[in-house]
Chains A and B, each alone.
Chain A
């Protein structure tokens, strides 16, 4: 497959528990922040985004929190399932349609 075996921080979570994945970003001028999920052998897949004028956004089982004061982004996954096992990347961009700058990623491992 197309996974690259990155040496990443790993978060191990029991099935059914909540997961929190953290990300520090660098550019205070970034306008959008996005979380991507990459499963083994696949390309990154969009999960949720948040604009810089918001501090929280909720989706289905996922919540993104943005703290601009400390340039910190988090992704919360409720009731984590085995299918959530993947590498999660945060990304930022200055404005719509400009290239995303990706963080290093966190590997989420769900223990059944």
Chain B
């Protein structure tokens, strides 16, 4: 069945290293969201794309985070350099234009030591 696929599922990295998280949205979905989940803040929107164009990335620290959609089947979220406070679970979700439901992937658990 159709699902959002995220890789890797887990990532442990040292402070200062670059981290790239990948997401394959559901085929035919034209909207992609990146959320971050932490104990303190819950689910926060980082960025979202429609038809591969970034619409809002105001939730991301611009100096270290970047999000792109190289093509309709791949969304990436990059952190460079990573910091311990970036440790969280990062979720990608996709949806159809006009729809209300966002389908979430399994998430990437990032630990920065």
Interface residues of A, Cβ cutoff 8 Å to B = 1-2, 4-7, 32, 34, 36, 41-46, 49, 89, 93, 96-97, 99-105
Q: Is the CB of A2 within 8 A of B107?
A: yes
A4 to B35, CA, bound (A): 13
CB pair A105–B42 under 8 Å, yes or no, is: yes
List, in ascending order, chain B residues with CB within 8 A of A32's CB. Answer: 100
A2 pairs with B99, CB closer than 8 A? no
Chain A residues with CB under 8 Å of B37's CB are 4
Q: Is the CB of A100 within 8 A of B42?
A: no
B window 81-113: CB within 8 A of A:
88-89, 91, 93, 95-109
Residues A46 and B39 in contact, CB atoms below 8 Å apart: no
Contacts of B99 in A (CB 8 A): 96-97
Q: Separation in Å of the A10 CB from the closest CB of chain B?
A: 15
Residue of B nearest to A101 (CB): B45
Contact of B97 with A97 in the complex, beta carbons under 8 Å: yes
Residue ID in chain A nearest B47 by CB atoms? A99
Complex CA distance for A105 and B50, rounded to whole angstroms: 27
Residues of A within 8 A of B31 (CB): 97
Alpha-carbon separation in the docked complex, A52 to B96 (Å): 20
Cα–Cα, bound, A4→B43 (Å): 10
Q: Which residue of A lies closest to B107 (CB)?
A: A2
Known contacts: A5-B39, A97-B95. The answer to whether A43 contacts B101 by CB under 8 A is: no
Identify which of A4, A7, A34, A49 contacts B88 (C-beta below 8 A): A4
Asked if A100 and B104 make an inter-chain contact with CB atoms under 8 angstroms apart, the answer reads no
CB-CB under 8 A from B101, the residues of chain A are 34, 46, 49
Give bound CA distance, A21 to B33, whole Å: 26
Q: Is the CB of A97 within 8 A of B104?
A: no
B1-52 residues at the A interface, CB under 8 angstroms: 4, 9, 31, 33, 35, 37-39, 42-43, 45, 48, 50
Interface residue from A6, A34, A42, A100 paired with B106 (Cβ < 8 Å) = A42
